[in-house]
Structure 1
Amino acid sequence: MQKLQEAEKRAGSLAIFGKITKLREEERDDLLNQKGGALQYLGTMRAMAGDADGAAQVFSWWRQLKQPEVVNPEARTALEKAIPEDAIRAIVRAARTRQIVILNEAHHIPEQRVFAMQLAHELKKIGFEYLACETFDEKIPVPMPDGHVSTSTGFYSKEPMFAAFLRSAHQDGWKLVGYDNMIGSEAAETAEERQRLRELGAATNLFQRVFEKNIKARVFIYVGYSHASKTPAFQSPTTFAWLAAHLKHQLNTDPLTVDQSAMFSYGNPKAEHPLYRTAIEQQNVNSAFVLKAPNGNYEVLSDYRGRMDMQVFHPDHSKISATGRPEWMQIVAKLKPRHVPADLLPSSGRRLIQAYFADEGTDSVPVDMVMVEAGKPAPMLMLPKGNFRFRFEE
């Protein structure tokens, strides 16, 4: 709650964002420079507090402030000729001949962590054994030795769906690995150099913590955005390359790289990728899919085209259901609604209501969270099977 309040204060009044479509280009540029970072932070904290819809709203504003992505004419033609395939089945089939699978995410979209959890469950069945996640604290080479997801496990894993992903991975027997290199890159004088050192250090950590022990180890790596890009190709330790390109060079193997950070709904078509709505309406598929080209390869339609191998399209499940929560929580995550206990509802102001597994302590990441405001209908908690206890933060 404190972090969310800090993010709200940093973002300030949000009224201006209701007028984005009326702003001139230079006004949007100025607003992005002034509040772009604050919007990203607010969106991330809203997602962590269980407000997936609010997070998507904030990032839809951020997307509308940025210059629209220019659609590659080849991508538009490719969409017309492609056919959909179930994303999980297609990725697993392609992964059978690969040593490394790298999947990215948009950090503010918890639904994508549900997809990662489902994919990890299937990859484990075909011999993948190490799961490396960007969230883990780099100072802890072997996270969660007892399977407990605490608030100190990592930054992004404080969000309930990420915690559910990690609990599931532990139950499936994955060997968890921390690899990110934020500390080692902090001394850099420029943002570009900091990013170069981060990618190089991340690849080095993975090599030392996994591949030096077993050069043939099969690894699923869960990252944010462009870390999964194989271009620019590695040239030398002093030139820039993303994590995927480093691993391709160091191990002489071609990682299967999958984007899911571009083709999804923000709940606002004006913020979506220009080809997203066409793709989901054309394919008329109700679960995550990839697009297969006539030549047997897979299509990537965003600016990751030529940089990643596959691209996941998430159907639009952003609509708010009768529970007061996005419908993907029932359709995709298979969670069940439960009313907030009446004795926890505030008589004034607002409260962050948190549900925990009954046998976990207060240092655990909640199973779900909802913000409740006095005098307004309370969103329902969305929970898996189990016994729970509840607490709140003012």
Structure 2
Amino acid sequence: MRSILILVALAGVWLADPATSVQAQSIPPWQERQLEAARKSDAIMREASRHTGMLAQFQFMRDAYFSSRNPTFRVIFRQYLSWYQTFIGDYDDAASMFSIAQRALPDDRPSPLDDPAWSAQPALTAIPQLAKGYRAVFFNEAHNIPLTRTVTVQLLAKLRAEGFDYFAAETVYQTDTKLQSRGYPTGNSGFYTEEPIAAEMVRTALKLGYKVIGYDALSDATGDEREAEQARNIYRQVFKSDPNAKLVVDAGYAHILEEGDFQGGMSMAEHLYKLTHLDVLTVEQTMLYGHPAASDDHPYYTPVMDRLHPKEPLVFISKSGQPWSLRPGYDVSVWFPPQTLRRGRPTWLDLGGERMPYYVSGEPCNRHYPCLVEARYAGEGDDAIPADRMVLDPVPLNALSSERVVTDSKVPFGELYLRPGTYRVVYCDENNATLFSQNVTIKGHSPRPPRSQPRAATAGPVATLVRGDVAQPSVDQGN
């Protein structure tokens, strides 16, 4: 990761991207304050990376956030903290910490409910059909909402069957030259791949026989220059050496925009078109999902959910076979059903039934809390990013170390989501010392977890946090 982060001004709020740097120019004082907050945020993240173990890194980030009363720093740093919350499997807090509100925009297309020509279809069956005839399919994601990675993970096998043979992920470091031969991502493979669903995406592509590449800019380029460098990296590693290649791309937010302004220039996808003249199927996944606050949802979202009550991600297709997208520049938009929780964890972690919940109790923690539980595939090394991980703790994870007051002695518990197979399940304390380990085997497929539980329902012990949390404002767009 580079030492300074780019900040993109959108709707009056700057958003950080951990892949690039920023060149300070003549800017207003409020922007300079945000740039300084970003520099501080970046320094804190570098310091966090020096701690051993993901739990210790998260705690360092958390304490830095909640110890500060600087509102500008908090606005910037909450995005950084949300990434680490996903890394430890704390998906609900990550979504609440950094929420991108989806407002109606003038160029939004009419809701598909307004025209009977549009019909809802399962995304997992419709997108492979749409991909027929294309040489490239681009998916985007919201980096702190791993829900937006789940469709991509599930579609890799179907796209492989259609002849797609390269998988390019923005997060993958080009410096990890052993990734392909090793067969699984490690902490040196990428940034967002520290999160288990992102790691599962890369791992799945490797297992299916894709050639996996990283393509992000290696220079300090920003804006249009960075997008152009990304496109050149893809072209060099894929189409220049293999003119008949078929490519799947995972990228953040508007990097896959096919046309229209991108930070005053062009997106990676548009730059790549200039190099290849290949038409791309672009799948937008960052706008139509349920936010922690319903007021952040796009106005179309609730009416579609209330009418259709979907149990799996949807797309809309016309009677003539054309896909619907919310905005120009994308071919098709994915709608995700409202999140439900089971034992405090989102059930979308089952990846459409491919993974099953495995119960874990806090007893092996031996009252050493917080306690990190990780499950790694038995055939992978100890350096592998886990298939799933979570933290067991009777105190809310966002409590400062100095404010941990347990008022209930019940043992915490939860569930990991795992594919059939054999795993090493390891319990570690905050110093990354192993408290307990065992091999477990997940056999066959069991019924999918119930999806009817209200989102706010959780199971487990009750604890008191001696601190009042401050509600955080949301922002309008991401990069």
Common fold: TM-score over 0.5 = yes
CA contact (8 A) 2:305 2:337 kept: yes
- 1:75 corresponds to which of 93, 109, 113: 109
1:265 alignment partner in structure 2: 290
In structure 2, distance between residues paired with 1:199 and 1:346: 50
In the alignment, is residue 306 of structure 1 matched against residue 328 of structure 2? yes
2:227 alignment partner in structure 1: 199
1:20 alignment partner in structure 2: none
CA contact (8 A) 1:267 1:319 kept: no
- CA shift digits 1:217-251 (9 cap, x unpaired): 110111110011012379xxxx7210110111111
1:315 alignment partner in structure 2: 337
In the alignment, is residue 386 of structure 1 matched against residue 405 of structure 2? no
2:253 alignment partner in structure 1: 225
- CA shift digits 1:136-177 (9 cap, x unpaired): 103346733231221211111111112222222122111111
Change (3 A) 1:342 1:8: closer
Distance apart, 1:198 and its partner CA:
1.6
Distance apart, 1:294 and its partner CA:
5.3
1:4 alignment partner in structure 2: 58
CA contact (8 A) 1:114 1:333 kept: no
- CA shift digits 1:68-101 (9 cap, x unpaired): 6234486345442132122122221121111111
In structure 2, distance between residues paired with 1:71 and 1:47: 29
CA contact (8 A) 1:346 1:372 kept: no
Distance apart, 1:331 and its partner CA:
6.8
CA contact (8 A) 2:372 2:391 kept: yes
- CA shift digits 1:190-224 (9 cap, x unpaired): xxxx1222211111111111111122311011111
- 1:51 corresponds to which of 63, 66, 90: 90
Change (3 A) 1:285 1:201: same
In the alignment, is residue 150 of structure 1 matched against residue 186 of structure 2? yes
2:379 alignment partner in structure 1: 359
| 2:133 partner letter | T
- Give the stretch that moved more between structures: 199-208 or 281-290: 281-290
Unaligned 5+ runs, structure 1: 17-29, 189-193
In the alignment, is residue 88 of structure 1 matched against residue 124 of structure 2? yes
In structure 1, distance between residues paired with 2:98 and 2:162: 36
| 1:311 partner letter | S
Q: Secondary structure at the match of 1:388?
A: strand
2:308 alignment partner in structure 1: 283
Once the two structures are aligned, what percentage of the paired residues are identical? 28
Change (3 A) 1:312 1:385: same
CA contact (8 A) 1:143 1:178 kept: no
CA contact (8 A) 1:116 1:165 kept: yes
In structure 2, distance between residues paired with 1:278 and 1:13: 40
Q: Where do residues 118-133 of structure 1 align in structure 2 (5 Å cutoff)?
A: 118-133=154-169
In structure 2, distance between residues paired with 1:74 and 1:156: 30
More helix by share: 1
Q: Secondary structure at the match of 2:154?
A: helix
Distance apart, 1:364 and its partner CA:
0.9
1:37 alignment partner in structure 2: 76
In structure 2, distance between residues paired with 1:40 and 1:79: 33
CA contact (8 A) 1:59 1:266 kept: no
CA contact (8 A) 1:231 1:307 kept: yes
- 2:202 corresponds to which of 160, 166, 185: 166
2:281 alignment partner in structure 1: 256
CA contact (8 A) 1:300 1:306 kept: yes
Unaligned 5+ runs, structure 2: 1-54, 395-408, 431-479
Q: CA RMSD in A?
A: 2.5
Q: Secondary structure at the match of 2:120?
A: strand
- Give the stretch that moved more between structures: 377-386 or 219-228: 377-386
Distance apart, 1:288 and its partner CA:
1.0
In structure 2, distance between residues paired with 1:74 and 1:273: 10
* TM-score between both structures, scaled by the size of structure 1: 0.83
| 1:155 partner letter | F
CA contact (8 A) 2:104 2:298 kept: no
| 2:93 partner letter | G
Q: Where do residues 174-189 of structure 1 align in structure 2 (5 Å cutoff)?
A: 174-181=210-217, 183-184=218-219, 186=220, 188=221
CA contact (8 A) 2:103 2:296 kept: no
In structure 2, distance between residues paired with 1:210 and 1:74: 34
Q: Where do residues 77-116 of structure 1 align in structure 2 (5 Å cutoff)?
A: 77-81=111-115, 82-116=118-152
Change (3 A) 1:4 1:124: same
Distance apart, 1:50 and its partner CA:
0.8
- CA shift digits 1:83-134 (9 cap, x unpaired): 2122122221121111111000111222232211111111111111100011
